[in-house]
């Protein structure tokens, strides 16, 4: 994915490109690489994104440290501070400079099977054994790696990037700057059945809807976003979905929301904007999780959640309440004993 930068960059230029204020150090010093605090050395830029490591940062021999305005103890001789409001973001930008993503050459591998009716944009890289169905439209500058399968009727914007073995099913609509990691399945049939109560058998409810993915979305390895029965499953702009996540049919994920690994949304589940669902969270169907909600790992959400709440537990409750109640849970045997004693009353003298 990434390759070591061939060249070098001056402190001055680095500060500009990551939006930092240079303090100490020589503006024309060349920075040659980037490394975490535990291994950074002279010539490197490093970063302090958590206070936990402040002592390490004060002792570093790196040429520069990305840090907040508030951090004290730097610069010491030979180490510049690259001060900014958001060192996390500045670090991300610096990594992009020192480890630019691999560039895939434009070209279509001879083994790719592409339907004659498909339209492929400019500068596409199409890898070996890719299969692209009828009426597919790919925007410009797309990268479609080995073994990716795109079923009939799907459309993507520009800079679509699909890693090996990703699958896009029928009639998906995908925006610009969408990346699928390996093994992602977009648009498989939703899990919808009607019970024939006389025979006990399940009849399939045809999943006739679509999956619609906004702009600037990442979906990670082996996650599954199911197509809706009617209408659509929708992932909004800027959403991030980690590995092995299940998004049931007819669900929506709002802008800039984050679904961590192994999260499951049952179906017709509505996740607002800027929501964070930590790992293994489950959300029931036909309910709404409001904007800016944060959910602790392994929580179970059975119904609507108001905007801005921080919740935990299965079923969920207020996070602070959950902290207190789970702290008491291991004392239940003592509590039960105390109640029994109280019920007996004071020993007769």
Contacts (CB under 8 A) with a copy of itself, residues 108-127:
109, 111, 113, 127
Among 28, 70, 77, 343, interactor with a copy of itself by CB under 8 A: 343
Quote the tokens at residue 349: 């003298």
Q: List the x/- string, 185-204, binding to a copy of itself by CB under 8 A.
A: x--xx-x-xxxxx--xxxxx
> Which helix (H) or strand (E) segment is 321 a member of?
helix 319-328
Angle between helices 11-18 and 87-98 (to 10 degrees): 120
CA pair distance 258, 157, nearest whole angstrom? 22
User: Is residue 294 near a copy of itself by the rule CB under 8 A?
Assistant: no
Minimum distance of a copy of itself from residue 288's CB (angstroms): 14
249 is catalytic: yes
Q: List the x/- string, 24-63, binding to a copy of itself by CB under 8 A.
A: -----------xx--x------------------------
Among 93, 232, 309, 319, interactor with a copy of itself by CB under 8 A: 93
Q: List the x/- string, 221-240, binding to a copy of itself by CB under 8 A.
A: xx-x-xx-xxx------x-x
Q: What is the dihedral of CA 137, 141, 145, 151, to 10 degrees?
A: -10
Among 14, 64, 80, 260, interactor with a copy of itself by CB under 8 A: 260
User: How many angstroms separate the Cα of 295 from the Cα of each of 223, 251, 270, 281, 287?
Assistant: 20, 18, 14, 8, 15
Which residue among 163, 220, 246, 249 is the active-site one? 249
Minimum distance of a copy of itself from residue 265's CB (angstroms): 9
User: Is residue 88 near a copy of itself by the rule CB under 8 A?
Assistant: yes
CB 45 within 8 A of CB 66: yes
User: Is residue 347 near a copy of itself by the rule CB under 8 A?
Assistant: no
Minimum distance of a copy of itself from residue 26's CB (angstroms): 26
Kindly give, in sequence order, each residue whose CB lies less than 8 Å from that of residue 92, ignoring residues fewer than 6 positions away: none
User: How many angstroms separate the Cα of 40 from the Cα of each of 46, 56, 247, 325?
Assistant: 6, 11, 40, 43
Q: Residue 226 CB: number of other CB atoms within 10 A?
A: 26
Q: Annotated active-site positions, please? A: 249
């Amino acid at each position: 994915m990434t390759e070591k930068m061939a060249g070098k960059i001056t402190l001055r230029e680095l500060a500009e490109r990551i939006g930092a204020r240079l303090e100490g150090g020589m503006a024309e010093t060349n920075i040659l690489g980037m490394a975490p605090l535990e291994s950074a050395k002279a010539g490197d830029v490093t970063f302090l994104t958590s206070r936990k490591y402040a002592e390490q940062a004060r002792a570093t021999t790196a040429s520069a440290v990305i840090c907040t305005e508030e951090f004290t103890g730097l610069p010491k001789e030979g180490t510049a501070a690259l001060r900014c409001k958001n060192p996390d973001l500045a670090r991300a930008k610096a990594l992009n400079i020192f480890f630019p993503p691999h560039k895939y050459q434009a070209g279509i591998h001879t083994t790719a099977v592409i339907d004659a009716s498909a339209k492929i944009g400019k500068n596409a890289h199409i890898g070996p054994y890719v299969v692209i169905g009828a009426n597919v439209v790919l925007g410009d500058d797309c990268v479609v790696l080995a073994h990716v399968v795109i079923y009939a009727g799907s459309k993507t914007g520009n800079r679509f990037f699909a890693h090996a073995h990703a699958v896009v099913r029928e009639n998906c609509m995908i925006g610009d700057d969408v990346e699928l990691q390996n093994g992602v399945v977009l648009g498989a049939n939703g899990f919808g059945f009607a019970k024939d109560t006389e025979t006990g058998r399940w009849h399939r409810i045809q999943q006739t809807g679509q999956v619609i993915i906004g702009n600037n979305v990442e979906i990670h390895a082996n996650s599954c976003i199911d197509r809706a029965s009617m209408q659509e499953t929708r992932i909004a702009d800027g959403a991030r979905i980690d590995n092995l996540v299940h998004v049931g049919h007819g669900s929506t994920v709002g802008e800039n929301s984050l679904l961590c690994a192994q999260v499951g949304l049952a179906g017709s589940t509505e996740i607002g904007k800027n929501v964070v669902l930590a790992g293994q969270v489950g959300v029931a169907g036909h309910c709404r999780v409001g904007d800016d909600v944060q959910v602790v790992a392994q929580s179970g959400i059975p119904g609507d959640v108001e905007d801005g709440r921080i919740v935990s537990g299965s079923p969920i409750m207020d996070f602070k309440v959950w902290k207190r109640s789970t702290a008491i849970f291991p004392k239940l045997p003592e509590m039960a004993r105390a109640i029994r004693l109280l019920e007996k009353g004071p020993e007769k003298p």
